[in-house]
Structure 1
């Protein structure tokens, strides 16, 4: 059984390798890089690791459902950034604005979700 530190290092290496792979694919084939980045690989890996740590069906169901609801506020960022870039906004400013938009929408979801009966 690996020690907790070895497990954390392995998780970090897999996560880092995934990010590097997406960036390398995106350099050569931007649309394919976007496709790979859009796959819920991080969510699936997270669910696998969560299940291994706590194999509880109800906990996993809550986690998966909350993940769905939290993905929604992140989607407008992927429309705002290209719109800003095409309007001549510098990359870092467009990225920052997209991130701020996402944070604002996450806060809105965290506030409104439970009022609408969502388990977040």
Structure 2
């Protein structure tokens, strides 16, 4: 239980630090947020927990394919905000479109025989 709490604390601290940096510099926060910290931490925790490099390989490959549809959020959110939609509405629509993108990507990968 202590180990899970430590993992949670480290991950939460990183998110808080990035959001606090964002108050001062959106560029610096964007740079830090664009580094796949969550994925890197997940790979570290997965390796520490299992020592299974095949699981790490599978995870990294899956993340690669699913990063592509996640970009939908970063395209649609600013566009919707520029058009005057409120933040939460814009975020909700962007997340919805991203989920649709994930589902479409999973279908495309399945069609081409790429298992993730």
Measured against the shorter chain, the TM-score band is over 0.9
Structure 2, unmatched stretches of 5+, are: none
> What's the CA shift for 1:99?
0.5
Question: Which residue does the alignment assign to 2:85?
Answer: 89
After TM superposition, list the pairs within 5 Å mapping 1:52-63 onto structure 2: 52-63=48-59
Q: TM-score, normalised by structure 2?
A: 0.94
> What's the CA shift for 1:80?
0.6
> Whole-Å Cα distance in 2 between the matches of residues 19 and 57 of structure 1?
26
Match of 2:44 among 48, 54, 58: 48
Q: TM-score, normalised by structure 1?
A: 0.91
Structure 1, unmatched stretches of 5+, are: none
> Whole-Å Cα distance in 2 between the matches of residues 23 and 56 of structure 1?
33
**Count of residues in correspondence between the two structures:** 116
Match of 2:73 among 74, 77, 87: 77
> Whole-Å Cα distance in 2 between the matches of residues 16 and 60 of structure 1?
22
The structure 1 segments of at least 4 consecutive aligned residues displaced by more than 3 Å after TM superposition are: none
> Whole-Å Cα distance in 2 between the matches of residues 115 and 49 of structure 1?
32
On the 8 A contact 1:73/1:105 being kept in 2, the answer is: yes
Cα deviation code 1:66-97 (max 9, x no counterpart): 11001111001101100111111111110001
Root mean square deviation, CA, Å: 1.1
Cα deviation code 1:19-72 (max 9, x no counterpart): 101110001101111111111111111111111122222222111111100111
> What's the CA shift for 1:107?
1.2
Match of 1:31 among 27, 34, 37: 27
